[in-house]
Amino acid sequence: MVVILKNIGKTFKKHRVFENVSLEIRKNSLITFVGPNGVGKTTLLKVIAGILHKDEGNIFFDTKEIFSTKESFHSLAFFVSESTLMENLTGREHLLLLPKEQKERTEKLIEYFVAHDLLKKKVKSYSLGMKQILLIILTCSFDVPILIFDEILNGLDPINRRKAMNLLLKLKKEKIIFLSSHQLMEVSEVSDEIYFLHDEGLEKLEEEIDSMSLESLYLEKITEGLDEAEIDF
């Protein structure tokens, strides 16, 4: 099982978000994209998922171009933002919308996150972290070969961050996972490859980098001149 990105490019209103993005990712891999806000991480994930149209290039899952066939479209699940949840439904009512064959997998995820009481409440009463847990359960209930998560750790408390990371470690044993995050120390523990997305393209970070040096490198790349920045109230 392999996902291949060949010279992917995307433009919004004459603004070049990224270009010539090429990767080859095999089964049992977790790939993380890092970079400053607004650089295009979410856009890249949405292009890979087929939610956004790519302007150039090709994306293949094994020998088939993704989303050129019905079969390939059903090969992935995408962790989307909390805005996709329905405020007046409970968490449990959201799960009832899933196919019946996913029930056993869903119940195991509920047990794992100890989410029984959470699911009784309406989404409009949820905190950001509670919405994230519901979205993780919804996404991971799909037993598909490709999983995509955009900022999975946002709003999670330390216990649920660790649970989410352990879940990703288990899932990547049989899947391909794409991830974006600003929580560099956590994702460095589970990622097989980390790519820094910036204005000039996609840059692979060195494999031997540890979590602290990754944090330092990230800051170095995005905070040029920060030490000299001042504010005058």
Q: How far is CA 141 from CA 43, 225, 233, in A?
A: 24, 44, 50
Phi/psi region, residue 62 (left: phi>0; alpha: psi -120 to 50; beta: rest), is left
Least confident range of 61-70, 103-112, 145-154: 61-70
Residues with Cβ within 8 Å of residue 62, at least 6 apart in sequence: 1, 2
**pLDDT single digits (tens) 159-189:** 999 999 999 999 999 999 999 988 777 888 8
Contact assessment for residue 88 and residue 122, using Cβ atoms and an 8 Å cutoff: yes
Return the pLDDT at 86. 94
Contact assessment for residue 131 and residue 155, using Cβ atoms and an 8 Å cutoff: yes
Buried b (16+ CB within 10 A) or exposed e, 115-142: beebbeeebeebeebbbbbbbbbbbbbb
* Sequence spans of domains, the chain: 2-224
Q: Apex CA 206: angle with CA 168 and CA 140, to 5°?
A: 10
CA 135 to CA 85: how far, in whole Å?
8
Element (H, E) at 206: none
In this model, does residue 61 exceed pLDDT 80?
yes
Residues with Cβ within 8 Å of residue 220, at least 6 apart in sequence: none
Give the percent of the chain with pLDDT over 90.
49
Q: Average pLDDT, stretch 185-206?
A: 83
**pLDDT single digits (tens) 206-229:** 655 666 566 677 777 666 555 565
Contact assessment for residue 222 and residue 35, using Cβ atoms and an 8 Å cutoff: yes
Give the percent of the chain with pLDDT over 70.
85
Does the domain formed by 2-224 have CATH 3.40.50.300?
yes
Return the pLDDT at 148. 95
Mean pLDDT score of the chain:
86
In this model, does residue 57 exceed pLDDT 70?
yes
Predicted confidence band of residue 71 (pLDDT cuts 50, 70, 90): low
By C-alpha distance, which of 160, 158, 148, 218 is closest to 188?
218
Q: Average pLDDT, stretch 68-84?
A: 73
**pLDDT single digits (tens) 111-146:** 999 999 999 999 999 999 999 999 999 999 999 999
CA 221 to CA 228: how far, in whole Å?
15
Least confident range of 37-41, 68-72, 92-96, 149-153: 68-72
